[in-house]
A = this chain, B = another copy of it.
């Protein structure tokens, strides 16, 4: 299936000219676009409500640019995570309206604003200042996918009063993302305070026996608070995506 056909079907689907069933039918045989070095999963938008996200790390700049360009052609919004400024420079030549969020290391194409339910807030918290880049990756991901996000940074447990001062904000959140390196204890404390889902993101922040994030990862997995689940070390994107899925359930 060549790119043009793929584009036509998807565009028609987004425009409502094709029903989901009809779109799926058309894609029965080959529901992705084949660039040889990448199979672009346009089908994902039908299946999961948001197009494939480009994990840029490990890809060449040319590959990232080409994939973003293809996705942008047929989807409203595109994300490339772990992208370097160099990658962005190349992407911009192909997709002029792409933006770069340096802190979160993300390239974003945002053409279609997704309706946001401002009653349902995703709260992104960090234990320290150094955890902010990962937290921003999570927050930005959730925002682009159509969620209201509140940020509370640097409330690690060694100054428990700083955390308790956020009690009200915590209680208001619908889904919580807790980002912490070092000993990762914040997830357990927050997990015990709420009856909402807590997504814990260990970070590689720290030194010595933190072993690149293992200390925080293990702490979060062993959390004595129920209601906490964990994603990969530094995986802000995954946390943001999952939080968005949960936040939109009804």
A153 to B191, CA, bound (A): 20
Contact of A153 among B31, B36, B159, B199 (CB under 8 A): B36
The stretch among A83-91, A92-100, A201-209 that forms the contact with chain B is A201-209
Q: For the complex formed, measure the closest distance between the CB of A120 and the CB atoms of chain B, giving whole angstroms.
A: 9
Q: List chain A positions with a Cβ less than 8 A from chain B.
A: 29-32, 36-39, 41, 43-44, 47-50, 52-53, 55, 57-59, 63, 82, 127-130, 132, 151, 153-162, 164-165, 174, 182-185, 188-189, 191-197, 199, 202, 204-235, 237-239, 241-242, 245-246, 249-250
Further 16 A-B residue pairs, CB within 8 A, beyond A157-B224, A160-B192, A208-B232: A37-B129, A57-B207, A59-B130, A156-B224, A158-B225, A160-B160, A183-B188, A185-B185, A197-B245, A207-B233, A209-B221, A210-B218, A227-B242, A227-B245, A229-B229, A249-B249
Listed A/B pairs (9) with beta-carbon separation below 8 Å? A57-B207, A158-B189, A185-B185, A189-B189, A206-B222, A207-B233, A208-B217, A209-B213, A210-B218
Closest 8 pairs (CB-CB, A-B): A208-B233, A58-B130, A185-B185, A229-B229, A158-B192, A215-B218, A158-B225, A48-B195
